[in-house]
Amino acid sequence: MSAVPADLVPVAEAVSCSAICDAMMRLHGHRAHVTDLVSPVPDRWLLGPAVTMQFLPLRADLLDTARHDFSPMLDAAVAGTDPEGAVLVVSSWGHPDQPVAGGKKLSRLRNLGLAGLVADARLRDFEEVVDLGIGAWCRGETVRQGGHEIMPWAAGVPVAVGGVTVVPGDWVYADRSGAVVIPEGDLRAVLEEAAAIEERDAAAVARMAQEDARR
């Protein structure tokens, strides 16, 4: 079940990521979009409130395996929130080629009802993700297990992904053309403006077709 207010679901389905980004740019000057995300199921788009997880380079001397593992960190990320329809945002802190999760770990996202995840790192087991039914956007696939260079360090904190800061509660939209991060209170305004932009753009395209035909 989506965390998006019911009346906004059809709006979100109708607008493009570009229109959402345009609408955001009219409200905010900061970079809000992420490009070059890949997915095992690129047709599965995402919109949900962010829950966050942050990795750091491995320090065995600081590692508490009861906390610094994907599963307990996921529990910490969703603690005190409704995980239904949420989007896990995972920051590798600058290690885009490291794996952060595979099919086994990601199955818990499905179990908890999350819509999916956006990670600036790699995932394993793209094929299994297809069956999990979640959306998954990342920096690529890998086959080696994680845990060798980075460790899950904190949850529920502000993180950076693809040059954009995400705080828990921000709305995260992702589809095959890109991702956009929307401040918690701005979802309605952004989606409605995006719909208006789409309408105006379609009218402009029609008008330009007539103008060019007259040449």
Instruction: By CB under 8 A, tell whether 189 contacts its own copies.
Output: no
Per CB under 8 A, which region of 1-9, 44-52, 121-129, 187-195 contacts its own copies?
Answer: 121-129
Phi and psi torsions of 94, nearest 5°: 85, 25
| 89 near its own copies, judged by CB under 8 A | no
* Contact between 158 and its own copies per CB under 8 A: yes
Q: How far is the CB of 200 from its own copies (least distance, A)?
A: 9
Number of residues that bind its own copies (CB under 8 A): 68
How far is 114 from 110, CA to CA, in rounded Å? 6
Q: Whole-number minimum distance, CB 97 to its own copies, in Å?
A: 7
Per-residue contact string for residues 2-41; x = within reach of its own copies by CB under 8 A? --------------xxx-xxx--x--xxxx-x-xx-----
Q: Verify binding: residue 133, its own copies, rule CB under 8 A.
A: no
Selected from 45, 77, 118, 124, the binder of its own copies by CB under 8 A is: 124
Site residues for its own copies per CB under 8 A: 16-18, 20-22, 25, 28-31, 33, 35-36, 56-62, 71, 93-95, 97, 102-104, 107-108, 110-112, 122, 124-127, 140-145, 149, 153, 158, 160, 163-165, 167, 176-180, 183, 201, 204-205, 208-209, 211-213, 215
